[in-house]
Chain A
Amino acid sequence: MALRNWFLPHKDTHKKAHLISWEGLLIYVLLFILLQVGFSIISYTKPGILGITASIDQKKLIELTNIERQKKGLGTVVENEALDKAAKLKAVNMFEENYWAHFAPSGKTPWDFILGSGYKFTFAGENLAKNFYTSDEVVQAWMNSPTHRDNLLNANYKDIGIAVAEGVLNGQKTTLIVQEFGTTELLARKPTIEVQGKQLAVPSQDLTNKPTLSLVSSPQINTKTLFDPYQVTKVAGFGVIIFMTLLLSLDFWILKKRGVFRISSHHIAHMALLSLTAGSLLLASPGAVL
């Protein structure tokens, strides 16, 4: 099997180069699956080696939240020390119990942290985010999600608390953002908390029986993040797309020069999908909100 046949169409049979035929495509797919499996193995065996290094500022998140509220004619929310503590407690708990949810596997509820921090709310709400690189991305993602946007733009809230915490979650270095909203003003209903668009009534026994929680200084992460798996996938993906586009163009040009028409080749269709994939990769972010 000549090396040139991997890159150029066959000189006699005009068969497509191997690297743009189904054999080549299968190799790329398997390589990328292998890459993801490799990341999972590294995350499991060497926690904290992979991950995202974010540059997210707590004060900037509050400022951006208030900008969004002001755009809708709502009052600004004021940073509250107890809610900051509640957010930090929640973030530390997510790292300790290794979960990404509003309710902990051990049964801890969002109001456990808020009440435990000493904030006696009548109405509260919680937004979560992870794997974002900047503060703007976080607030934009919350604004793009209808349930998180409703929470962020809820007129009942007067106070806000935010925690930006770094730790290892599912084997990867992660920056978690916990946003707690609340009001202690009397509303004509039972205390409720809003998470993911659902208003949950706080059981009355929880309002009186919650012990005060204290923040234990979270351990510093000593692991040095070697690389960001999402950026590696992105760069490798762009590499393959550019390489395939080059080979497809070369194939098209050589066949045209030879005056050959190959019935199975539809370079434009393949290139269109590859371009769409490149665009999607460019816009895609590992960030998630909950």
Chain B
Amino acid sequence: MMVLRILGAGILVYLLWALVHHKKDKSLTFATFVEYLLTALLSIVLLMGVVF
């Protein structure tokens, strides 16, 4: 379960960074954030398929 925790933390950093960066950049659109969300979701789905 350690890998799940590490990936979870990585995803959190990735999404927070995306939010802060695009907000500061004034480039935060729904489509942009959906792209980040789907990349994060893909990572979770891939790992879940192996762990469970």
Contact of A283 with B by CB under 8 A: yes
Enumerate chain A residues within 8 angstroms of B6, measured Cβ to Cβ. Answer: 276, 280
Q: Is the CB of A25 within 8 A of B46?
A: no
Contact of A109 with B by CB under 8 A: no
Enumerate chain B residues within 8 angstroms of A226, measured Cβ to Cβ. Answer: none
Tell me what chain B mostly uses at the interface: helix, strand, loop, or mixed.
Answer: helix
Which single residue of chain A is at the shortest CB-CB distance from B9?
A: A276
Which single residue of chain A is at the shortest CB-CB distance from B29?
A: A264
Q: Which of A32, A264, A269, A286 contacts B46 (CB 8 A)?
A: A32
Enumerate chain B residues within 8 angstroms of A32, measured Cβ to Cβ. Answer: 42, 45-46, 49
B50 to chain A, nearest CB (A): 4
In the assembled complex, the Cα of A284 lies from the Cα of B49 at a distance in Å of 10
Tell me what chain A mostly uses at the interface: helix, strand, loop, or mixed.
Answer: helix
Enumerate chain B residues within 8 angstroms of A264, measured Cβ to Cβ. Answer: 27, 29, 31-32, 35
Which single residue of chain A is at the shortest CB-CB distance from B10?
A: A276
In the assembled complex, the Cα of A172 lies from the Cα of B10 at a distance in Å of 32
In the assembled complex, the Cα of A237 lies from the Cα of B42 at a distance in Å of 9
Q: How many residue pairs bridge A and B at CB < 8 Å?
A: 89
Contact residue range for chain B?
A: 20 to 34
In the assembled complex, the Cα of A237 lies from the Cα of B6 at a distance in Å of 18
Enumerate chain A residues within 8 angstroms of B35, measured Cβ to Cβ. Answer: 21-22, 25, 264
Contact of A246 with B by CB under 8 A: no
A17 to chain B, nearest CB (A): 13
Q: Is the CB of B42 within 8 A of A286?
A: no
Q: Is the CB of A277 within 8 A of B7?
A: yes
In the assembled complex, the Cα of A229 lies from the Cα of B48 at a distance in Å of 12
Enumerate chain B residues within 8 angstroms of A263, measured Cβ to Cβ. Answer: 25, 27
Contact residue range for chain A?
A: 20 to 34
B43 to chain A, nearest CB (A): 4
Question: Which residues of A (42-58) have their CB < 8 Å from a CB of B?
Answer: none
Question: Which residues of B (9-52) have their CB < 8 Å from a CB of A?
Answer: 10-11, 14, 17-18, 21, 25, 27, 29, 31-32, 34-35, 38-43, 45-52
A196 to chain B, nearest CB (A): 15
Q: Which of B11, B21, B42 contacts A28 (CB 8 A)?
A: B42
Question: Chain A: residues with CB nearer than 8 A to chain B?
Answer: 21-22, 25-26, 28-29, 32-33, 35-36, 144, 229-230, 233-234, 237, 240-241, 263-264, 266, 269-270, 272-274, 276-277, 280-281, 283-286
Can you report 16 residue pairs joining A to B where beta carbons are below 8 Å apart?
A: A22-B38, A29-B42, A36-B45, A144-B2, A229-B49, A233-B50, A234-B50, A237-B46, A266-B21, A272-B14, A273-B10, A277-B42, A280-B3, A280-B7, A285-B51, A286-B52
Knowing that A22-B34, A263-B27 touch, tell me 12 more A-B residue pairs with CB under 8 angstroms. A29-B38, A32-B42, A230-B50, A237-B46, A241-B46, A263-B25, A269-B17, A269-B18, A273-B43, A277-B43, A277-B46, A280-B3
